[in-house]
Amino acid sequence: MQNDPEAPPARVGKWIAERSVIVDTVRPYLGDAVPSTLDGYDGLLVLGGAIGALDDHIGTWLPQVRSLVSHSVDADRPVFGICLGLQIISAACGGTVELGDTPELGVCWIDITDDGREDAVIGKLPMRAQVPQMHRDGVLRPPPGATVLATSLSYPVQAFRIGTRVYGVQGHPEIDTSVMVRWGDESEADILEGAGKSLEEAVEELSASEVAIEDSWRPVFHAWADLVVEYAGG
């Protein structure tokens, strides 16, 4: 589910495809219909975007996406949300999404919780992991029953799991420097002004860390894609 023309699956789409999962991209901002259920699909990847999880006046398709997420989570179908996707899962399932005090921009460190280290997906990360970020919205309270798998000082909910197959991460492991540059051109001014660093500094951080980020996060999405394949096999 691509919610923004500048937020494609990118590397995550490639990593999932490496596990023989076929990616069918739905672009509701272009008029694509949002499915009401996952019938005919084996998993759902909800991508990022500049809008908020409850900005229905801008993203008129968001109520349909939240409904699809809610039905999928209730059925414990494989779901993965990235940044806005994490926030959509939270909003759809009873969590709280709000603006944080300080934006996260560039490459940030997240700490894997004890539950995260034991997790079959997020546990593929090192105990402290790097991830690209560009956001100010965040999950203040995760949905009831969610398990927090990663945290940071500014945004304590950096990753969570609901049930056994539903995941979300606040960061953007899918992006490279070219995507971050484009986002900087389109980003809300408060992110660039409030993060304490320039876009150029953020891009330099990502350029220096891209290989390490790919090495850390590819196994995470391989593990989630394996859940999709397992689900598809019944």
Catalytic residues: 83, 172, 174
β-pairing, 159-162 with 147-151?
A: antiparallel
Question: What are all long-range contacts of 56-60, with beta carbons under 8 Å and residues at least 24 apart?
Answer: 59/3, 59/28, 59/29
* φ, ψ for residue 225, nearest 5 deg: -60, -35
Placement of tokens 């490459």 in the chain? 107
| Length in residues, the chain | 234
Distance CA 50, CA 98 (A): 14
Report the helix count and the strand count for the chain, using DSSP H and E.
7, 7
